[in-house]
Amino acid sequence: MALAGVRVIELAGLAPAPFCGMILADFGAKVIRVDRTKGAVPLDTQARGKKSMAINLKTAEGVTLLRKLCVQSDVVLEPYRKGVMEKLGLGPQELLKENPRLIYARLTGYGQSGSYASAAGHDINYLAMSGLLSRLGRSGEKPYAPLNLLADFAGGGLTCALGIVLALLERTKSGKGQIIDASMVEGAAYVGSFIWKSRRIGMWDRSRGQNMLDSGAPFYDTYQTSDGKYMAVGAVEPQFYRQLLQGLELDAEQLPPQMSFSGWADLSRIFTERFASKTQADWSKVFDGTDACVTPVLTFDQVSSHPHNRERASFIKDSSGEESPRPAPVLSLTPAEPCLAPDPVIGEHTVEVLQELGFSSAEIDKMQAVGVVECNVVKAKL
Ligand SMILES: CCCCCCCCCCCC[C@H](C)C(=O)SCCNC(=O)CCNC(=O)[C@H](O)C(C)(C)COP(=O)(O)OP(=O)(O)OC[C@H]1O[C@@H](n2cnc3c(N)ncnc32)[C@H](O)[C@@H]1OP(=O)(O)O
């Protein structure tokens, strides 16, 4: 796999850093997640392929141990509030002094500088600060955050993974590591570059929810079908729009022009009525194989059995039968090989990692006895 041989220390976080770590693990990196001790609650639902080591960082020995682990690795991924790692004496300056090849990724909401740098926050706050949230939502309604996808995952975990891969690539030339300051505000804003840069062509001149791609246009929206399901319509270009009308059995001559704002409310009403006349399966039959850009809105239950997704094996099942998306993109030479074994329990690999670091069984027992580390065994892997 592309990242084979890369060792990553992921400090346990909430959602974005775990996603970043999972991407790296899916593509072959050895990712060791450092968890808390004392019966920490396992919150990482994106732990595929990772190892878990539980260290108490409120002990000096625990900090020394983490330092040792970090300086012997390629990447450190930390999701804490600004200054937390420095307080532990594990800031990037210190660690890079010991290991100049280290890539030190800091994944935060507001970045390492600026007056909000130390403030708590979540996806919705970062999205708000990026400007994007102000553009999301239907006409006349308040802004709407589309789950926590944009800041946490697109602008956060995924962008940070890109930064790490870029730094790894660069290191092959300079031999040097570097610090990655991944701010979810900036990552989300960057993901939204199209919105920023297409303002000059008038794409966003109208208010929220009244433009072509923000649910303002009738040809770029969802419609309910007679069985309470939905179809998604994305018939933007005139040649594809014509096919939409054909499928709906509508005569263009009898309708307002596609691109006239004043006709959009009428068109939307007509499309709504039409879509309500057949089931999702019926409409799928009508539009499958055409260029009308109309697809069923699949639920999680439907998605893997849809013929297209099934043919590409786009979804995988792990050994417990849990379904999830296959890592993307697909690399022809070194594709990801996602681990299908159950996620690690907290501290499952503490002993294994300590042994790799050269600690003896007696030393490991002692560290466990005084609460520096926690070693847990999986109870039921039957
Ligand atoms: C009952 C319900 C519980 C909730 C269930 C949650 C289920 C999951 C849901 C996911 C929701 C996802 C939401 C929508 C998100 O947006 S997640 C993104 C959140 N934001 C970020 O990640 C940005 C960067 N991080 C942060 O800003 C902050 O970490 C935070 C998220 C606001 C949390 O702040 P806070 O809890 O005060 O922690 P921090 O200031 O980062 O300090 C962490 C402290 O923990 C300590 N720590 C760490 N590891 C260990 C360890 N192994 N052993 C002992 N201690 C440990 C650190 O040393 C630090 O301690 P201290 O410096 O405070 O004394």
Torsion of CA 192, 194, 197, 202, to 10 degrees: -110
State the pLDDT at residue 134: 98
Q: Do 124 and 66 share a domain, yes or no?
A: yes
Structural domain includes residue 313? no
Average pLDDT over residues 37-66: 93
Q: Do 112 and 185 share a domain, yes or no?
A: yes
**Cβ(99) to ligand 1 under 6 A?**
no
Q: Do 36 and 155 share a domain, yes or no?
A: yes
Structural domain includes residue 205? no
State the pLDDT at residue 43: 83
Distance 168 CA to ligand 1 centre (A): 27
Nearest atom within ligand 1 for CA of residue 81: 41
C-alpha distances out from residue 296 to 222, 299, 308, 357, Å: 9, 9, 12, 52
Q: Which of 20, 81, 108 to mutate to test the pocket of ligand 1 (most atoms within 8 A of CB)?
A: 81
Contacting residues for 369 by C-beta, under 8 A, at least 6 apart: none
**Nearest Cα to 68, choosing from 26, 38, 44, 32?**
32
**Cβ(344) to ligand 1 under 6 A?**
no
For helices 159-174 and 16-26, angle between their N-to-C axes, nearest 10 degrees: 50
- Give the CATH number for residue 323: 3.40.50.10540
Q: Give the residue from 297, 331, 351 where a domain finishes.
A: 297
Q: What tokens appear for 90 in the block?
A: 């594990």
Phi, psi of 153 (to 5 degrees): -105, -55
How many domains is the chain built from? 2
**Cβ(120) to ligand 1 under 6 A?**
yes
Q: Do 180 and 282 share a domain, yes or no?
A: no
Q: Give the residue from 297, 331, 358 where a domain finishes.
A: 297
Distance 13 CA to ligand 1 centre (A): 6
**pTM, entire model:** 0.96
Distance CA 22, CA 249 (A): 46
Structural domain includes residue 167? yes
Name the pairing type of β-strands 373-374 and 51-55: antiparallel
Indicate which residues carry an active-site annotation.
122, 152
Q: Which domain holds residue 244?
A: 220-297
pLDDT at 361 over 50: yes
Structural domain includes residue 330? yes
pLDDT at 381 over 70: no
- Give the CATH number for residue 279: 3.30.1540.10
Distance CA 291, CA 244 (A): 8
State the pLDDT at residue 382: 46
**Cβ(214) to ligand 1 under 6 A?**
no
Structural domain includes residue 276? yes
Q: What is the pLDDT of residues 70-107, one digit of tens each?
A: 999 999 999 999 999 999 999 999 999 999 999 999 99
Evaluated on CA atoms 16, 17, 23, 26, the torsion sign reads: negative
